[in-house]
A and B are shown apart, each in its own frame.
Chain A
Amino acid sequence: SYELTQPPSVSVSPGQTARITCSADALPNQYAYWYQQKPGQAPVLVIYKDSERPSGIPERFSGSSSGTTVTLIISGVQAEDEADYYCQSPDSSGTYVVFGGGTKLTVL
């Protein structure tokens, strides 16, 4: 089955830049989306179509894509950014939706 691979955890100090990667063979041909989920809450879309930011999402959130890897970038990390982050993309056929396993971002 098709999988999106994320690191289980990333740690950064406040004010630093966090980079969370997501890898899969079909990513050069499919858009990726990123969601932030805090404990007990529903996920929130923070990046769509690889690098677009929905209204209301802080400018410190950005996304990039290179080959089979997409990256969520959080510049100037704040304590409130500590959360689980999930990448999501269609499978190679574009028919089904797949989520990565999630990355826990810890702000030291």
Chain B
Amino acid sequence: QVQLQESGPGLVKPSETLSLICNVSGDSVTNYYWSWIRQPPGKGLEWIGYIYYSGSTSYNPSLKSRVTISEDTSKNQFSLNLSSVTAADTAVYFCVMGYCSGGCFQHWGQGTLVTVSS
């Protein structure tokens, strides 16, 4: 059974960089597609991007200039960096495993709320 767990600061100041880590158990991050998806309070889901097959990435065009997703295969984890954050980046951030490039998001972390505020 694949399990994912997000970790990172719950509060980030405006203009700073949001950094989260997803710890994975039950499968290797060198397999399949590992995504970050976020959900602002009371709103819908937004795909941020994914990393797959040992380092290739794809990002949401609306966030691409600010996003970096990377992996640490030795720790079986992957991470999200989102730079120059504003209040609009306040959201629950989920790390997710998918079996295909088109989505098929089968396994989700519980999500972590990140608030952007001074």
Contact = CB atoms under 8 A, between A and B. Distances in A.
A binds B: yes
Interface residues of A, number: 26
B109 A96 contact: no
A91 B60 CA distance: 11
B17 to A, nearest CB: 23
Nearest to A2: B61
Contacts of A89: 102-103
Interface of B: 35, 44-47, 50, 58, 60-62, 94, 101-106, 108-111
B58 A95 contact: yes
A81 to B, nearest CB: 19
Interface of A: 1, 30-31, 33, 35, 37, 42-45, 48-49, 54, 86, 88-90, 94-102
A69 to B, nearest CB: 18
B44 A33 contact: no
A99 B47 CA distance: 7
9 contacts: A1-B62, A42-B110, A42-B111, A48-B104, A90-B101, A96-B58, A97-B102, A99-B44, A101-B44
Given A43-B45, A98-B47, A30 B110 contact: no
